[in-house]
Amino acid sequence: MIIRSEALNKSYRRHTALRGISLAVPEGSIYALLGVNGAGKTTTIKTLLNILTPSSGRAEVLGVDSRRLSPREYAQIGYVSENQELPGRLTVGAYLAYLRPFYPAWDRSLEQTLVTELQLPLDRRIGNLSHGTRMKTSLACALCYRPKLLVLDEPFSGLDPLVRDELMERLLQQADDMTVFLSSHELDEIEGSTTYVAYLEHGRLLIQESMATLGERTREVRVTLPREASIPPGAPRNWIDMSATGSVLSFLDIQYEPDALQSALKTVFTDCREVEIQPAPLRSIFTALARTSASRELQP
Protein backbone atom coordinates (compact mmCIF):
# COMPACT_ATOMS: atom_id res chain seq x y z
CA MET A 1 0.00 0.00 0.00
CA ILE A 2 1.33 3.41 -0.90
CA ILE A 3 -0.66 4.98 1.99
CA ARG A 4 -1.66 3.13 5.13
CA SER A 5 -2.99 4.45 8.42
CA GLU A 6 -4.01 2.68 11.61
CA ALA A 7 -6.46 4.17 14.13
CA LEU A 8 -5.48 7.73 13.24
CA ASN A 9 -6.93 10.34 15.59
CA LYS A 10 -6.65 14.11 15.63
CA SER A 11 -8.10 16.35 18.33
CA TYR A 12 -8.11 20.10 18.90
CA ARG A 13 -8.86 20.73 22.56
CA ARG A 14 -12.54 19.78 22.86
CA HIS A 15 -13.04 19.03 19.15
CA THR A 16 -12.15 15.63 17.69
CA ALA A 17 -11.52 15.96 13.94
CA LEU A 18 -10.47 12.37 13.14
CA ARG A 19 -11.70 9.25 14.90
CA GLY A 20 -9.77 6.04 14.30
CA ILE A 21 -9.07 6.47 10.58
CA SER A 22 -7.58 3.31 9.04
CA LEU A 23 -6.87 3.78 5.34
CA ALA A 24 -5.33 1.43 2.80
CA VAL A 25 -4.51 3.02 -0.57
CA PRO A 26 -3.23 0.55 -3.20
CA GLU A 27 -0.32 1.63 -5.36
CA GLY A 28 -1.43 2.67 -8.84
CA SER A 29 -5.01 3.40 -7.79
CA ILE A 30 -7.12 6.53 -8.13
CA TYR A 31 -8.49 6.74 -4.61
CA ALA A 32 -11.27 9.20 -3.76
CA LEU A 33 -11.92 10.34 -0.19
CA LEU A 34 -15.49 11.63 -0.09
CA GLY A 35 -17.51 13.51 2.50
CA VAL A 36 -19.38 16.74 3.06
CA ASN A 37 -17.53 19.91 4.02
CA GLY A 38 -16.23 19.55 7.56
CA ALA A 39 -16.15 15.75 7.45
CA GLY A 40 -12.38 15.68 8.02
CA LYS A 41 -10.99 15.20 4.51
CA THR A 42 -8.42 18.02 4.62
CA THR A 43 -7.39 17.11 8.16
CA THR A 44 -6.83 13.53 7.04
CA ILE A 45 -4.63 14.63 4.15
CA LYS A 46 -2.59 17.04 6.26
CA THR A 47 -2.09 14.41 8.96
CA LEU A 48 -0.98 11.80 6.42
CA LEU A 49 1.57 14.25 4.99
CA ASN A 50 2.85 15.31 8.44
CA ILE A 51 1.57 18.85 8.00
CA LEU A 52 -0.42 18.10 11.15
CA THR A 53 0.71 15.77 13.94
CA PRO A 54 -1.77 13.02 14.85
CA SER A 55 -3.03 12.87 18.43
CA SER A 56 -2.69 9.07 18.29
CA GLY A 57 -2.40 6.27 15.76
CA ARG A 58 0.09 6.04 12.94
CA ALA A 59 0.39 6.38 9.19
CA GLU A 60 2.81 5.34 6.47
CA VAL A 61 3.32 7.07 3.14
CA LEU A 62 5.61 5.52 0.51
CA GLY A 63 6.50 2.91 3.10
CA VAL A 64 7.80 5.52 5.59
CA ASP A 65 6.27 6.57 8.90
CA SER A 66 4.55 9.85 8.04
CA ARG A 67 6.21 11.58 11.01
CA ARG A 68 9.60 10.78 9.47
CA LEU A 69 8.96 11.88 5.90
CA SER A 70 12.15 13.42 4.51
CA PRO A 71 12.92 15.58 1.45
CA ARG A 72 13.57 12.32 -0.41
CA GLU A 73 9.92 11.25 0.07
CA TYR A 74 8.45 14.71 -0.43
CA ALA A 75 10.25 14.89 -3.80
CA GLN A 76 8.06 11.95 -4.84
CA ILE A 77 4.78 13.49 -3.61
CA GLY A 78 2.78 16.04 -5.56
CA TYR A 79 0.26 18.19 -3.68
CA VAL A 80 -2.50 20.41 -5.02
CA SER A 81 -5.16 22.08 -2.87
CA GLU A 82 -8.01 24.46 -3.66
CA ASN A 83 -6.65 26.80 -0.96
CA GLN A 84 -3.00 26.41 -1.90
CA GLU A 85 -1.01 29.63 -1.63
CA LEU A 86 1.20 30.48 -4.59
CA PRO A 87 3.69 33.38 -4.85
CA GLY A 88 1.47 36.00 -6.42
CA ARG A 89 4.30 38.33 -7.43
CA LEU A 90 6.05 35.70 -9.57
CA THR A 91 5.08 35.01 -13.14
CA VAL A 92 4.12 31.44 -14.06
CA GLY A 93 7.42 31.04 -15.92
CA ALA A 94 9.48 32.37 -13.01
CA TYR A 95 7.71 30.05 -10.58
CA LEU A 96 8.43 27.00 -12.75
CA ALA A 97 12.08 28.07 -12.96
CA TYR A 98 12.19 28.49 -9.18
CA LEU A 99 10.87 24.97 -8.55
CA ARG A 100 13.04 23.03 -11.02
CA PRO A 101 16.22 22.78 -8.88
CA PHE A 102 14.31 21.26 -5.95
CA TYR A 103 13.29 18.15 -7.92
CA PRO A 104 15.97 15.95 -9.49
CA ALA A 105 13.32 14.17 -11.57
CA TRP A 106 11.92 17.39 -13.08
CA ASP A 107 11.00 16.71 -16.72
CA ARG A 108 11.51 19.77 -18.93
CA SER A 109 9.82 18.05 -21.87
CA LEU A 110 6.73 17.30 -19.78
CA GLU A 111 6.80 20.89 -18.51
CA GLN A 112 6.62 22.21 -22.07
CA THR A 113 3.78 19.83 -22.87
CA LEU A 114 1.79 20.89 -19.82
CA VAL A 115 2.36 24.59 -20.47
CA THR A 116 1.06 24.14 -24.01
CA GLU A 117 -1.87 21.84 -23.30
CA LEU A 118 -3.06 23.77 -20.23
CA GLN A 119 -2.43 27.12 -21.98
CA LEU A 120 -0.45 28.55 -19.08
CA PRO A 121 0.52 32.24 -19.53
CA LEU A 122 4.24 32.15 -18.65
CA ASP A 123 4.61 35.95 -18.59
CA ARG A 124 1.66 36.71 -16.29
CA ARG A 125 1.89 37.11 -12.53
CA ILE A 126 0.23 34.32 -10.58
CA GLY A 127 -1.63 36.85 -8.44
CA ASN A 128 -3.42 38.14 -11.54
CA LEU A 129 -4.61 34.73 -12.73
CA SER A 130 -8.15 33.40 -12.47
CA HIS A 131 -8.87 30.64 -9.97
CA GLY A 132 -9.02 28.07 -12.75
CA THR A 133 -5.66 29.08 -14.22
CA ARG A 134 -4.04 29.06 -10.78
CA MET A 135 -5.30 25.51 -10.27
CA LYS A 136 -3.91 24.49 -13.67
CA THR A 137 -0.60 26.07 -12.70
CA SER A 138 -0.54 24.18 -9.41
CA LEU A 139 -1.28 20.90 -11.17
CA ALA A 140 1.43 21.48 -13.77
CA CYS A 141 3.97 22.23 -11.04
CA ALA A 142 3.00 19.02 -9.23
CA LEU A 143 3.22 16.86 -12.35
CA CYS A 144 6.48 18.11 -13.85
CA TYR A 145 8.65 16.00 -11.53
CA ARG A 146 6.54 12.89 -12.16
CA PRO A 147 5.57 12.18 -8.53
CA LYS A 148 4.96 8.64 -7.38
CA LEU A 149 1.99 9.91 -5.33
CA LEU A 150 -0.24 12.86 -6.27
CA VAL A 151 -2.43 14.24 -3.47
CA LEU A 152 -5.32 16.50 -4.48
CA ASP A 153 -7.47 18.29 -1.89
CA GLU A 154 -10.75 19.41 -3.50
CA PRO A 155 -9.06 20.13 -6.83
CA PHE A 156 -12.29 20.85 -8.72
CA SER A 157 -14.01 23.13 -6.22
CA GLY A 158 -15.23 26.36 -7.79
CA LEU A 159 -13.98 25.52 -11.29
CA ASP A 160 -16.06 25.88 -14.42
CA PRO A 161 -16.83 22.65 -16.32
CA LEU A 162 -14.30 23.31 -19.08
CA VAL A 163 -11.41 23.71 -16.64
CA ARG A 164 -12.52 20.64 -14.67
CA ASP A 165 -12.51 18.61 -17.87
CA GLU A 166 -9.01 19.84 -18.73
CA LEU A 167 -7.66 18.92 -15.30
CA MET A 168 -9.28 15.50 -15.27
CA GLU A 169 -8.06 14.73 -18.78
CA ARG A 170 -4.49 15.57 -17.79
CA LEU A 171 -4.74 13.49 -14.61
CA LEU A 172 -5.94 10.46 -16.53
CA GLN A 173 -3.11 10.84 -19.03
CA GLN A 174 -0.58 10.73 -16.18
CA ALA A 175 -2.38 8.22 -13.96
CA ASP A 176 -0.50 5.17 -15.26
CA ASP A 177 2.71 6.45 -13.72
CA MET A 178 1.44 7.36 -10.26
CA THR A 179 -1.11 6.89 -7.51
CA VAL A 180 -3.75 9.62 -7.17
CA PHE A 181 -5.27 10.31 -3.74
CA LEU A 182 -7.95 12.96 -3.89
CA SER A 183 -10.66 14.44 -1.73
CA SER A 184 -13.71 15.79 -3.49
CA HIS A 185 -17.44 16.30 -3.47
CA GLU A 186 -17.54 16.93 -7.23
CA LEU A 187 -18.78 13.42 -7.92
CA ASP A 188 -19.61 13.72 -11.60
CA GLU A 189 -15.97 14.43 -12.47
CA ILE A 190 -14.47 11.46 -10.59
CA GLU A 191 -17.00 8.65 -10.96
CA GLY A 192 -15.74 7.31 -14.26
CA SER A 193 -12.07 7.27 -13.25
CA THR A 194 -11.95 6.42 -9.55
CA THR A 195 -10.91 2.87 -8.68
CA TYR A 196 -11.26 3.05 -4.88
CA VAL A 197 -13.54 5.13 -2.72
CA ALA A 198 -13.84 5.97 0.97
CA TYR A 199 -16.50 7.96 2.79
CA LEU A 200 -15.90 10.15 5.85
CA GLU A 201 -18.58 11.44 8.21
CA HIS A 202 -17.80 13.51 11.30
CA GLY A 203 -14.22 12.26 11.24
CA ARG A 204 -15.15 8.58 10.99
CA LEU A 205 -14.40 6.34 8.04
CA LEU A 206 -17.69 4.66 7.19
CA ILE A 207 -16.85 2.78 4.00
CA GLN A 208 -13.68 1.94 2.10
CA GLU A 209 -13.70 -0.35 -0.92
CA SER A 210 -13.16 -0.61 -4.65
CA MET A 211 -15.64 1.08 -6.94
CA ALA A 212 -16.33 -2.29 -8.53
CA THR A 213 -17.32 -3.84 -5.20
CA LEU A 214 -19.38 -0.79 -4.19
CA GLY A 215 -21.21 -0.93 -7.52
CA GLU A 216 -21.98 -4.62 -7.11
CA ARG A 217 -23.46 -4.28 -3.63
CA THR A 218 -25.60 -1.15 -4.10
CA ARG A 219 -28.86 -0.72 -6.00
CA GLU A 220 -31.54 1.93 -6.26
CA VAL A 221 -34.92 0.33 -5.65
CA ARG A 222 -38.40 1.72 -6.38
CA VAL A 223 -41.45 -0.17 -5.15
CA THR A 224 -44.90 0.75 -6.52
CA LEU A 225 -47.81 -0.17 -4.25
CA PRO A 226 -51.60 -0.24 -4.87
CA ARG A 227 -52.03 2.34 -2.11
CA GLU A 228 -50.37 5.35 -0.52
CA ALA A 229 -46.78 4.39 0.27
CA SER A 230 -45.23 4.88 3.70
CA ILE A 231 -41.92 3.88 5.24
CA PRO A 232 -42.40 0.39 6.71
CA PRO A 233 -41.28 -0.07 10.34
CA GLY A 234 -39.89 -3.54 9.68
CA ALA A 235 -37.63 -2.67 6.74
CA PRO A 236 -34.16 -4.29 6.65
CA ARG A 237 -31.32 -2.19 8.03
CA ASN A 238 -29.52 -2.24 4.69
CA TRP A 239 -32.35 -0.27 3.07
CA ILE A 240 -31.23 3.32 3.60
CA ASP A 241 -32.44 6.78 2.57
CA MET A 242 -36.04 5.57 2.29
CA SER A 243 -38.64 7.99 0.96
CA ALA A 244 -42.32 7.69 0.01
CA THR A 245 -43.99 9.71 -2.74
CA GLY A 246 -47.54 8.86 -3.67
CA SER A 247 -47.67 5.11 -4.17
CA VAL A 248 -43.91 4.76 -4.70
CA LEU A 249 -41.36 3.83 -2.03
CA SER A 250 -37.70 4.45 -2.92
CA PHE A 251 -34.53 3.39 -1.13
CA LEU A 252 -30.90 2.38 -1.58
CA ASP A 253 -30.02 -1.25 -0.86
CA ILE A 254 -26.39 -1.27 0.33
CA GLN A 255 -26.14 -5.06 0.67
CA TYR A 256 -27.78 -5.98 -2.60
CA GLU A 257 -28.25 -9.63 -3.46
CA PRO A 258 -31.06 -10.47 -5.91
CA ASP A 259 -32.55 -13.37 -3.95
CA ALA A 260 -32.21 -11.63 -0.59
CA LEU A 261 -33.90 -8.48 -1.90
CA GLN A 262 -36.81 -10.40 -3.42
CA SER A 263 -37.30 -12.34 -0.20
CA ALA A 264 -37.22 -9.16 1.89
CA LEU A 265 -39.71 -7.42 -0.42
CA LYS A 266 -42.16 -10.32 -0.06
CA THR A 267 -41.78 -10.17 3.72
CA VAL A 268 -42.22 -6.42 4.05
CA PHE A 269 -44.87 -5.99 1.33
CA THR A 270 -47.59 -8.40 0.28
CA ASP A 271 -49.04 -6.29 -2.50
CA CYS A 272 -46.24 -4.90 -4.71
CA ARG A 273 -47.44 -3.85 -8.13
CA GLU A 274 -43.99 -3.19 -9.57
CA VAL A 275 -40.35 -3.26 -8.45
CA GLU A 276 -37.64 -1.34 -10.31
CA ILE A 277 -34.00 -2.14 -9.54
CA GLN A 278 -31.19 -0.08 -11.04
CA PRO A 279 -27.44 0.33 -10.49
CA ALA A 280 -26.77 3.24 -8.16
CA PRO A 281 -24.58 6.07 -9.47
CA LEU A 282 -21.95 7.42 -7.08
CA ARG A 283 -23.93 10.64 -6.55
CA SER A 284 -26.96 8.65 -5.32
CA ILE A 285 -24.77 6.61 -2.99
CA PHE A 286 -23.05 9.74 -1.68
CA THR A 287 -26.37 11.51 -1.10
CA ALA A 288 -27.83 8.50 0.69
CA LEU A 289 -24.78 8.22 2.94
CA ALA A 290 -24.83 11.93 3.69
CA ARG A 291 -28.47 11.69 4.77
CA THR A 292 -27.91 8.63 6.93
CA SER A 293 -26.28 9.51 10.24
CA ALA A 294 -26.00 6.12 11.96
CA SER A 295 -22.69 4.59 10.85
CA ARG A 296 -23.74 1.06 11.80
CA GLU A 297 -26.28 1.18 8.98
CA LEU A 298 -23.66 1.98 6.35
CA GLN A 299 -21.23 -0.88 6.75
CA PRO A 300 -21.32 -3.60 4.09
**DSSP letters for 179-201:** EEEEEES-HHHHTTT-SEEEEEE
Q: Enter the pTM of the model.
A: 0.83
> Which has more confidence, 216 or 234?
216
Confidence grade of residue 187 (pLDDT, cut at 50, 70, 90): low
Nearest CA among 208, 187, 189 for reference residue 198:
208
Specify whether the backbone of 7 is left (phi greater than 0), alpha (psi in -120 to 50) or beta: left
For 205-226, what is each residue's pLDDT tens digit? 988 999 999 999 999 999 999 9
Neighbouring C-beta atoms of residue 143, cutoff 10 Å: 24
Nearest CA among 162, 165, 205 for reference residue 183:
205
Specify whether the backbone of 189 is left (phi greater than 0), alpha (psi in -120 to 50) or beta: alpha
Q: What is the DSSP letter of 202?
A: T
Nearest CA among 58, 87, 64 for reference residue 76:
64
Domain ranges of the chain: 3-213, 219-279
Q: What does the pLDDT average to over 31-48?
A: 89
User: Considering the domain 3-213 in this protein, what is its CATH number?
Assistant: 3.40.50.300
For 246-255, what is each residue's pLDDT tens digit? 999 999 999 9
Average per-residue pLDDT for the chain: 88
261-267, long-range: CB within 8 Å, 24+ apart, which pairs? 261/219, 261/221, 264/236, 264/239, 265/223, 267/234
Report CA torsion sign: 87, 40, 208, 293.
negative
Confidence grade of residue 287 (pLDDT, cut at 50, 70, 90): confident
Q: What does the pLDDT average to over 62-72?
A: 94
HSE toward the beta carbon, residue 144, CA cutoff 13 A: 27
Nearest CA among 145, 141, 132 for reference residue 93:
141
- C-alpha distances (whole Å) from 228 to each of 220, 223, 224, 225, 232 are 20, 11, 9, 7, 12
- C-alpha distances (whole Å) from 69 to each of 2, 83, 204, 250, 285 are 13, 23, 25, 48, 35
Nearest CA among 115, 153, 157 for reference residue 136:
115
